Amino acid sequence: MRVAMIGSGYVGLVSGACFADFGHEVTCVDMDKTKIDALNGGKVPIYEPGLTELVNANVKAGRLKFTMDLAAAVKQADAVFIAVGTPSRRGDGHADLTFVYDAAKEIAAAVDGFTVVVTKSTVPVGTGDEVERIIREARQNQGGDAADVAVVSNPEFLREGAAIQDFKHPDRIVVGTDDERARAVMTELYRPLYLNRSPVMFTGRRTAELIKYAANAFLATKITFINEIADLAEKAGADVQEIARGIGLDNRIGSKFLHAGPGYGGSCFPKDTLALLKTGLDHDSPLRIVEAVVAVNDNRKRAMARKVSHALNGDIRGKTVAVLGLTFKPNTDDMREAPSIPLIAALQDMGASVRAYDPVGMEQSREYLKNVAFCNDPYDCAQGASALVIVTEWEQFRALDFARLKGVMAKPVLVDLRNIYRPDELARHGFAYEGVGRGKK
Ligand code: NAD
């Protein structure tokens, strides 16, 4: 199959490279010249484990190409994927569909012969109808065959940091269409995954669109639920880690997404929960649980700064705080809506100076963080600090040399917002320890 992938960001590039790896002929398109130049020069512009190798191997095999020429890529394609951004619209929090609709117009002007247009971007229910309307209308105005396109919803569930594994071994693939020809094309595209026995679920287009938002809102709810239980455990002298294990072993609940921490962030959950709330209001069907999740999660960011201040007995003004981990999760360079951003701003508002280190996200974080001293490694970061705060649980932070840290810090205080250490372990190293939801009896 010949595939055009419109948008070569975290989703488009991974999906394009994986489809090429399945044996399809893929052209990844982007309007960002720097990205396309980098890719054509053999450089992958994002950090995603294994992606550089996958891209290089498929470019070498002649199955993967990069271009800014959308029309040429679309003309030759059997399937055109829209994988552009759908950020929050300024002001009201609804999904901004400008990139999606602009891409649809460009696609309409270029399609040649029966083409399946697939929205992989996360889009509110009903967007597929509008994409179809835009394309059909434009085709008719150009004197083309309006019926020669099928618009399909195929939301993406990959997680940054494990994106290739997720794409190649998904829990499920959701395909929203009632067009038989489109169904055949989608089946062919995902054939290697049928062989792996990944469940492929065909459904209506609107249902597919809503599945994506329902999934993200549910996961955000699970995280927020355990975070509130963590707050209670902290006050009531219980340990949220054990509570999470105790409830997670129940198959009806499941152990994933029950890690208490600084609140969810990233490029998806914050914007998707907000967009779902708007969709609910548009349909006069408010989502009260999601509303509470968004509010609780927002409040949590500042609460984490208060936790740091509390670890310093309220004496934070004029002190240095060292922050380990800036990206929204490990194994990515993505800083969008990272919990580190509001946390650092709140620490600075309280009068602390902040030093920071991240294994991969230093360059990206400069765009988001002001007046921060960027450091070379965890020990450089801890120099003169009165508290060390773990915000992102990168693997390399799991085995810190506490004797060395103690030697360079003003005070041996660890605030572990990801609960990667045990309080008794840190006490042995002579550190005051503050985790999340680990109440002292
Ligand atoms: P991104 O910002 O990394 O990439 C989007 C790319 O699209 C950009 O490079 C941009 O230049 C390009 N683009 C926009 N309009 C274009 C056009 N008309 N022609 C060519 N290129 C164009 O975004 P992302 O993180 O890959 O997310 C894309 C979509 O996938 C979003 O809807 C997101 O919600 C969804 N999604 C993201 C993830 C994730 O983990 N990042 C996971 C699942 C779903």
Q: What SS3 class is residue 103?
A: helix
Mean pLDDT of 374-394: 98
Residues annotated as catalytic are: 268
Minimum CA distance residue for ligand 1 atom 22: 7
Determine the Cα–Cα distance for residues 244 and 230; give it in Å rounded to an integer: 9
User: Ligand 1 centroid to 224 CA: how many Å?
Assistant: 26
Mean pLDDT of 354-358: 98
Closest ligand 1 atom number to CA of residue 123: 32
Q: How far is CA 351 from CA 303, 320, 354, 355, 371, in A?
A: 16, 9, 10, 13, 12
Question: pLDDT value at position 143?
Answer: 81
Long-range contacts of 424-429 (CB under 8 A, 24+ apart): 426/402, 429/402, 429/403
Residue 441 pLDDT class (50, 70, 90 cuts): low
Give start and end residues of each alpha helix (H) in 127-204: 127-141, 163-168, 180-189, 191-195
Question: pLDDT value at position 109?
Answer: 93
Minimum CA distance residue for ligand 1 atom 3: 9
pLDDT tens profile 64-81: 999 999 999 999 999 999
pLDDT surpasses 80 at 244: yes
Question: pLDDT value at position 298?
Answer: 95
User: Where does ligand 1 bind, in terms of residues with CB under 6 Å?
Assistant: 6-12, 29-32, 35, 70, 83-86, 99, 102-103, 106, 121-122, 156, 158, 160, 267-268
Q: Which fold has domain 239-434?
A: Rossmann fold (3.40.50)
Question: pLDDT value at position 440?
Answer: 78
Do 2-203 and 239-434 show the same overall fold? yes
In angstroms, what is the C-alpha Rg of the chain?
24
pLDDT tens profile 67-122: 999 999 999 999 999 999 999 998 899 999 999 999 999 999 999 889 999 999 99
pTM: 0.96
Pocket test for ligand 1, best of 5, 6, 8, 11 (most atoms within 8 A of CB): 11
User: Ligand 1 centroid to 295 CA: how many Å?
Assistant: 26
pLDDT tens profile 250-297: 999 999 999 999 999 999 999 999 999 999 999 999 999 999 999 999
Question: pLDDT value at position 408?
Answer: 98
Closest ligand 1 atom number to CA of residue 11: 26
Mean pLDDT of 299-323: 96
Question: How is domain 2-203 classified at the architecture level of CATH?
Answer: 3-Layer(aba) Sandwich (3.40)
Q: In the chain, what are the domain boundaries?
A: 2-203, 239-434
pLDDT tens profile 145-185: 766 899 999 999 999 999 999 999 999 999 999 999 999 99
Nearest to 66 by CA among 118, 146, 6, 19: 6
Give the tokens for residue 180: 């038989």
Question: pLDDT value at position 144?
Answer: 74
Please provide the size of the chain in residues: 441
Which amino acid type is present at position 253? I
Minimum CA distance residue for ligand 1 atom 28: 85
Q: Are 135 and 111 in contact (CB under 8 A)?
A: yes
